[in-house]
Amino acid sequence: MTDFQPARLSGIARPANVGAMLDEICEHFVEHSDVVYKDGIATLKSEEWTIDIATVNDHLAIEISTDGDEALAATRTMFAEHLFYFAGDEPFSLEWSKPAPKVRPPGFVEATVVAAHDVTPRMRRVTLSLADVSPFIGGNMHVRLLVPPKGRAPVWPNLQENGRIGWPEGEDELVVRVYTIRSVDAEAKQVFIDILQHPAERVATPGADFARDTVPGEQVALMGPGGGGLPEAENIFFAGDESALPAIARMVEEAPAGVTMKAIIEVENAAEEQLLQGNGLLEVEWLHRSSYAPDGRPHLVDRVKAALETVGNDTFVWFAAEKADVRTIKRHLADRKRDRKQQYIAWYWEKGQ
C-alpha cells in the first residue's frame, strides 16, 4: 500500500564554504522549484517536496518534507547527489537524522533487453521489458541506464548512509548513461529508448556501443524516471540535437490538442529526420549538420538565437544539446531577462568527455 502520510527528515551538511554552497543550491534549483532565499535561509518547494535550508555557523541545517516515505527517500538521494556534485573536490560531509538503509536506490528497476533495431541509420531503438512500466508513463522522462560488464553477473548499487548511491567498483563497475524513455507499451510492459550512434574518434562510447551490440535477454537496470517532462504551456519552442530528439518527439506526442509547438532539430542529414506526430499544432525545422559550411556555421545555436527573436514571453523555451551550446543559449536567454520558470535549458552531452 502506498503511504501518503507526511514524512520529514533532517540533515546536516558541512561544506567548505557554507554561503557559497547555499548560493549554488538556490541558483540551480530555481529552474526546478520555487525558491525563496533571504538572510541565509532558503526554502525550495516543488510539487513533490519542500526543502528548508538554514545557515547555522559552519553548517547547513536541512529539513526535507514530502507526502510519504517513498518520496522522502527519493528526495534525499536526489538532494544528496546534488550537494556532493556542488562540493566537487572540496571537503564535504552529510548526515541525516535517520541514516539511509542499505537498499537499492529509489527508482531502481531491473530490465531485460527484448530487441534493438535502427530507427534511422544513426538512431538505434532498444526495447526493454520491465515488471512494472507504470512509473514511466507520462511525467518525468529521463532515466539512468545501468549496463553491467559483459559476461559478469550484475552487481547493482545500494544506498550509502548519507543517501548517495554506492556504485559497484572494479570488475563490477557499471556503464551508467542518461537517456530518455521515448515511449512505453503498457500492455506489453515494455519501454523504448532511442540511442544515438554518435561518431567519436579514438574514444570509447559505451552507451552507444551497448545499443549497437545488445542482444535479447541481456540484463540491465534503470533508475528513474526524473528530470521533468512535457512543460505545462500552450506555446512551446523546442530546440536541440539528436540527443534531445527522443525527448522532443515524446513531448510532441504527449502534448494535448490546442498546444502550439515549434521545433528546431539538428541532425546529421535528411536520413536522420523522424516523423514527429501528436495532437498539437507543430512546425518542425530540420538542420543538417552535413550541409554546414566548412567552418560549421551557421549551426544550431545561430539558428536558435535568430528564432528566439520572434518567440514571445508566453512561450516555454526548451533547449537541450551539447554543453557549450547550451551555455550560450542560457546566457542569451538571461540577457533577455526571460522568466526562468518558462524554460528548460539542459546540456545532454559534453564534447570530449
Which residues form the interface with ligand FAD (CB under 6 A)? 142, 177-180, 194-196, 198, 200, 203, 205-208, 227, 242-243, 246, 348-353
Smaller CB distance to ligand FAD: residue 7 or 223? 223
Smaller CB distance to ligand FAD: residue 246 or 278? 246
What the block records as the C-alpha cell of 92 is 564535504
Spatial CB neighbours of 320, under 8 Å, sequence gap ≥ 6: 240, 241, 243, 244, 247, 326, 344, 345, 346, 347, 348
Indicate the burial class of 81 (C-beta count within 10 angstroms; 0-12, 13-18, 19 or more).
middle
Whether residue 44 contacts residue 29, with contact meaning beta carbons closer than 8 Å, is answered with yes
What the block records as the C-alpha cell of 335 is 540577457
Smaller CB distance to ligand FAD: residue 29 or 96? 29
- Strand 235-240 and strand 260-267: pairing? parallel
CB of 239 to ligand FAD, least distance (A): 15
Task: Report the first-to-last Cα separation within the chain, whole angstroms.
Answer: 43
What the block records as the C-alpha cell of 148 is 553491467
CA distance 78 to 84: 10
CB of 49 to ligand FAD, least distance (A): 20
CB of 84 to ligand FAD, least distance (A): 18
CB of 202 to ligand FAD, least distance (A): 9
Smaller CB distance to ligand FAD: residue 198 or 338? 198
CB of 67 to ligand FAD, least distance (A): 25
Whether residue 184 contacts residue 106, with contact meaning beta carbons closer than 8 Å, is answered with no
What the block records as the C-alpha cell of 26 is 538556490
CB of 326 to ligand FAD, least distance (A): 10
What the block records as the C-alpha cell of 121 is 541509420
Smaller CB distance to ligand FAD: residue 126 or 308? 126
CB of 272 to ligand FAD, least distance (A): 12
CA distance 226 to 136: 9
Smaller CB distance to ligand FAD: residue 157 or 225? 225
Q: Looking at beta carbons, which residue is closest to ligand FAD?
A: 207
Whether residue 163 contacts residue 243, with contact meaning beta carbons closer than 8 Å, is answered with no
Smaller CB distance to ligand FAD: residue 242 or 272? 242
What the block records as the C-alpha cell of 111 is 530490465
CB of 35 to ligand FAD, least distance (A): 21
Q: Name the region of 217 (left: φ>0; alpha: ψ -120 to 50; beta: rest).
A: left
Smaller CB distance to ligand FAD: residue 6 or 138? 138
Of the candidates 270, 291, 332, 276, the residue with the CA atom closest to the CA atom of residue 121: 270
